[in-house]
Amino acid sequence: MRRTEHRITALETARATILGHPDETVSCSILNFSKSGMCIEVREPIPEGKIVKVEWEDSFLVGRARRNALEQQRFQIGLELLYCSQWSEPLKETLESAEVSAILP
């Protein structure tokens, strides 16, 4: 499947909490994000469909795990955006201009 949204590289350290009974919190790296989601990297797979809260700096994102890909002994997890605490205006502008430039020749 080919992605149509532009992704922005992040490479930030964060915390991921897999919501459930009980919740499980693990360290993660945010690899990239787009308007509809985020890709994180963790040591263990996160089952598809699980709800994950990713926290970094003063922000957080809640997403649904959609895919697991094993890359060099770590798992890249694609999260479908359910809620984000706030996208700052400069970030919104960056995402919008990145999408326009990806479409234009």
CA distances in angstroms from 62 to 1, 16, 31, 58, 98, listed in the order given: 23, 9, 16, 14, 23
Q: How many CA atoms lie within 13 A of 61 on its CB side?
A: 23
- CA 9, CA 25: separation in Å to the nearest integer? 23
In a domain, 2, yes or no: no
**Under a CB-based contact definition with an 8 Å cutoff, are residues 81 and 37 in contact?**
yes
pTM above 0.85, yes or no: no
User: How high is the pLDDT of residue 34?
Assistant: 85
Question: What is the average pLDDT across 70-85?
Answer: 92
CATH number of the domain that 58 lies in?
Answer: 2.40.10.220
User: How high is the pLDDT of residue 87?
Assistant: 58
In a domain, 68, yes or no: yes
Question: What is the average pLDDT across 68-91?
Answer: 83
What confidence category does residue 92 fall into, taking pLDDT thresholds of 50, 70 and 90? low
User: How high is the pLDDT of residue 88?
Assistant: 53
Give the structural domain span for 72. 8-103
Q: How many structural domains comprise the chain?
A: 1
Q: In this predicted model, what pLDDT tens digit does every residue of 17-72 receive, in sequence order?
A: 999 989 999 999 999 988 889 999 999 999 999 999 999 988 899 999 999 999 99
**3-state SS, residue 96:** helix
In a domain, 3, yes or no: no
- CA 16, CA 31: separation in Å to the nearest integer? 13
Neighbouring-strand partners of residue 45: none
User: How high is the pLDDT of residue 65?
Assistant: 97
65 against 84, higher pLDDT: 65
Q: How far is CA 73 from the centre of its chain?
A: 19
User: How high is the pLDDT of residue 103?
Assistant: 38
- CA 65, CA 78: separation in Å to the nearest integer? 6
